[in-house]
Amino acid sequence: NFHAGMVEVYDKNFTLVNEFTDATVGLNFAPFGIQNIGGQLYVTFAKQKLPDKHDDDAGPGNGFVDVFDPDGTFVRRVASHGTLNSPWGLAVAPDGFGKFSRDLLVGNFGDGRINAFGVSTGEFEGQLIDPEGNPLTMNGLWALQFGNGAPNGGSRQTLFFTAGIADESHGLFGSIRAGSGQEDNEDE
């Protein structure tokens, strides 16, 4: 619930059973995106645009990524400020995804870029780039998800994304594959 600034947990009957947040992210930062990765909840935080707190206040450094247990217990901070800009989408890159293999990919809604961080270290590894070496940018970037390898689920090395183009009045679904010639990540 971005407006209220809380992650809300519901049971199978859609009854609210818990809510949590990270009070250390600062005033006017609220949960923006969430993804279950390996049984833990990765939560992105974006700055709320005042006064209504309905939209994000995009800008360089406006973001955090935290990890929680499913019960809402804070585990650790993965990333803060830096290249984050209203982060939303989250996915862990599989083996075979070039130099960002096994990294946490964090998609920014604010500037449409995808950042890579070491999953266990939180170290910034870089941004996905286009063939000319410029940061890959998708306006209004939302979700990130790798294929599951099933016949209709896409290759495990294909990163699917959604975006709200034209100021979120239209939707875009696309895919990204690592370019050839990139070395695999040896660090994680």
Q: Which residues of 102-130 are buried (b: 16+ CB within 10 A; e: fewer)?
A: bbbbbbbbbbbbbbbbbbeeeebbebbee
Q: Strands of 158-164's sheet, edge to edge?
A: 141-146, 158-164, 170-177
The predicted pLDDT at position 179 comes to 78
Residue 2, domain member (yes or no): no
Domains identified in the chain, total number: 1
In a domain, 98, yes or no: yes
Residue 163 lies in a domain: yes
Write down the pTM of the prediction.
0.92
Give phi and psi for 100, each to the nearest 5.
-100, 15
Query: pLDDT tens across 54-99, in order?
Result: 999 999 999 999 999 999 999 999 999 999 999 999 999 999 999 9
Q: What is the pLDDT of residue 185?
A: 44
> Is 173 inside a domain boundary?
yes
The reply to whether 183 falls in a domain is no
**Cα–Cα distance, 64 to 30 (Å, whole number):** 9
The predicted structure's pLDDT at residue 70: 95
- Between CA 86 and CA 73 the distance in angstroms is 23
Residues in the chain, pLDDT under 50: 181-188
Q: Among all chains, which residue has been given the structure tokens 């996915």? A: 91
The pLDDT of residue 64 is 98
Which residue range(s) make up the domain with 44? 7-177
98 secondary structure, DSSP code: G
Residue 140 lies inside a defined structural domain of this protein: yes
Q: What is the DSSP letter of 23?
A: G
106 touches 84 (CB < 8 A): yes
- Per-residue pLDDT, 180: 58
Is residue 36 included in any domain, yes or no? yes
